[in-house]
Structure formats: structure tokens, C-alpha cells
């Protein structure tokens, strides 16, 4: 163990500091929690408290939660949260890529611990408070996702702007009331989204005329290989992805383009799948992939 810590410290001194995040994630994936904690501590002694360190520390909290060690998860998440707030006194939240992840994860784990303990109201209160505090930041979508997981089912589905769309004109959810709707939030860079194509094609064929598939997407500011692109250039690229991968297999692939829809639905995970019943109420809210059997069971 000591040899590993020393080796990591030497590596951190001579390479990109972001290696700490990968090392900690790798250790947690192997359930080597003590090693992961030692890596974070070695990094902190060498570099101090940085945004990278806090993201790595947030993975300690997530790992503890996944192992159902709720006291440990809560303790680490609170420590990470407070340290993030200290850094925010000196820099904007979205100045780098690490701090928003660290802060968002620390809030998510605290809320998840509360919900796991049966303190649902407290979890909702925490997320609502943090959403208000960070409404203009990138973590808004992630916090909304966690709030939606606790509250959205059975509630009226948030409206989705269809002013900007790709392909055929997209009806609004209000216009579709009286008929079930399947929402599929996807991204042009998302490989997991493409793996859902056979499932969506099969569902659309089997439920033709009985359910409407709407596939919202959004701009991310870049195209292939992460190359930065202005909005219109990215929109053209998204349409190329739509035509190449989706339209041929899913003929009625209705695509509104709306960043606000992603925020309101908390679609920080792609794909995110939502089922809306004929009354316009959310029946299913599911961040992540679903098999054909899982999805059909909900329709």
C-alpha cells in the first residue's frame, strides 16, 4: 500500500493532475475503497484542495453509497460540498470541468442518502433548495434529474418547445393529450442512445397509431471529435447523425431541439426515457438505457 501511495505522489507531481479522478474511479470499480481514499489523501498533501481532488473525493462518496455505507457516503459528500463552497468564493462554478461535477455529486449523494433512509421529504427539500441556489449553473440539469426521480411520476409532463426541430414538424405535448407519448432524450455524441435504436424501432412498429415517439435533443457546442462549433453548424451535424443512425430505422423520429427541455426533464443522462399517459401525466421517468422487455412492460 505504501509503495502505491508514494508511486502515485510521484506520478501526480509530474503528470496532469486530472489523473487522480481516473485512479480513484478505477480503484472504486475494483471495490478497493481504502486504496481510493489513500490516493485522494496523497494527492491532497501534494497539491492541496483542488477541483480535481474534490471530483475524485465525490467518487468516494458515490462508491460508499453504492455499497450502502450511508453514514460514510453522507460524511464524505458533506465534506466535499463544504470544500466546493470554499472554492466558489474564489472562482465561478463553471470555470472548469471538475468543480461542477464535484458539487453536483456531493448534493446528489446527500439527497440519495436521505431518500434511502426513507426521508423523502427532506431529500426533496434539499434538492429544491440547491436548485434555487444554482439555477443558472450547469448542474441545474443534474439536480433536476434527482428531483424528478423523487417527484415527477404522476405529475403533469413539462412542456417541450417545438419551435426548433429536425425533420418533420413536431406536435406539442398539449396537442398530443389524449394519446400516450414516449419521450427519448438523446445526444449526437451518445453511443448508448444508438444502442436503443432497435428497441425504439420495434416499439414504434408494434404500437403504431397508439403511441407517439418524440426524441428531444439539444446543442452541446461541438461536433465530431469534440470540435467546437457555432449553433447552426452543430444543428446541421445533429441532423446528419439523425439521418444516418435514427431516421432509417425509426421512420417517425420527431426531433425537437431544446436545451430548456433537457433542463426541465433533468436529462443529464442520455438516453433519458419518459412515458406520458393519455392524461398528460408522467408514468415513467428513467435516466439510462432500457431493454425492449423493460420498456414494453411500462407501456
Residue 110 shares a structural domain with residue 136: yes
Per-residue pLDDT, 96: 87
Residue 72 shares a structural domain with residue 204: no
Please state the pTM of the whole predicted model: 0.90
Band of pLDDT at residue 15, cut at 50, 70 and 90: very low
Domain CATH code at residue 129: 1.25.40.10
Q: Residues 143-156: pLDDT tens digits?
A: 999 999 999 999 99
Residue 136 shares a structural domain with residue 239: no
Residue 85 shares a structural domain with residue 27: yes
* 158 in a structural domain: no
Best CA proximity match to 275, nearest among 296, 247, 254: 296
Q: Residues 24-62: pLDDT tens digits?
A: 999 999 999 999 999 999 999 999 999 999 999 999 999
Residue 10 shares a structural domain with residue 147: yes
* 159 in a structural domain: no
Angle at 289 between CA 186 and CA 222, to 5 degrees: 30
Residue 176 shares a structural domain with residue 263: yes
Domain count, the chain: 2
Q: Residues 193-211: pLDDT tens digits?
A: 999 999 999 999 999 999 9
Q: Residues 247-263: pLDDT tens digits?
A: 989 989 999 999 999 99
The residue among 151, 181, 208 that closes a domain is 151
The residue among 98, 117, 151 that closes a domain is 151
Best CA proximity match to 160, nearest among 298, 31, 67, 282: 282
Domain CATH code at residue 284: 3.40.30.10
* Domain limits for position 194: 165-298
DSSP 8-class letter at 93: G
Q: Where do the DSSP E strands lie in the chain?
A: 165-166, 181-185, 212-214, 255-256, 272-276, 282-287
Residue 6 shares a structural domain with residue 147: yes
Amino acid at each position: 500500500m505504501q509503495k502505491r501511495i508514494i508511486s502515485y505522489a510521484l506520478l501526480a507531481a509530474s503528470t496532469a493532475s486530472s489523473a487522480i479522478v481516473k485512479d480513484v474511479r478505477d480503484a472504486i470499480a475494483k471495490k478497493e475503497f481504502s486504496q481510493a481514499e489513500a490516493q485522494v489523501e496523497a494527492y491532497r498533501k501534494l497539491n492541496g484542495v483542488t477541483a480535481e481532488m474534490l471530483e475524485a473525493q465525490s467518487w468516494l462518496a458515490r462508491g460508499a453509497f453504492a455499497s450502502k455505507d450511508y453514514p460514510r457516503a453522507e460524511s464524505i459528500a458533506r465534506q466535499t460540498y463544504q470544500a466546493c463552497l470554499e472554492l466558489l468564493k474564489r472562482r465561478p462554478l463553471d470555470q472548469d470541468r471538475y468543480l461542477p461535477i464535484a458539487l453536483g455529486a456531493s448534493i446528489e449523494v446527500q439527497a440519495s442518502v436521505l431518500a434511502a433512509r426513507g426521508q423523502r421529504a427532506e431529500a426533496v427539500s434539499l434538492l429544491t433548495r440547491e436548485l434555487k441556489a444554482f439555477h443558472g449553473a450547469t448542474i441545474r440539469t443534474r439536480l433536476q434529474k434527482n428531483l424528478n426521480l423523487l417527484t415527477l411520476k404522476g405529475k403533469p409532463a413539462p412542456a417541450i418547445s417545438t419551435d426548433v426541430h429536425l425533420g418533420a414538424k413536431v406536435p406539442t405535448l398539449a396537442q398530443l393529450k389524449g394519446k400516450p407519448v414516449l419521450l427519448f432524450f438523446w445526444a449526437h455524441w451518445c453511443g448508448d442512445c444508438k444502442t436503443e435504436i432497435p428497441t425504439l424501432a420495434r416499439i414504434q412498429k408494434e404500437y403504431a397509431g397508439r403511441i407517439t415517439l418524440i426524441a428531444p435533443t439539444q446543442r452541446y457546442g461541438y461536433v465530431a471529435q469534440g470540435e467546437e462549433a457555432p449553433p447552426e453548424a452543430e444543428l446541421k451535424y445533429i441532423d446528419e447523425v439523425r439521418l444516418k443512425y435514427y431516421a432509417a430505422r425509426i421512420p417517425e423520429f420527431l426531433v425537437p431541439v431544446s436545451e430548456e427541455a433537457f433542463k426541465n426533464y433533468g436529462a443529464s443522462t442520455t438516453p433519458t426515457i419518459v412515458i406520458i399517459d393519455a392524461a398528460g401525466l408522467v408514468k415513467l421517468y428513467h435516466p439510462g438505457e432500457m431493454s425492449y422487455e423493460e420498456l414494453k412492460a411500462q407501456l
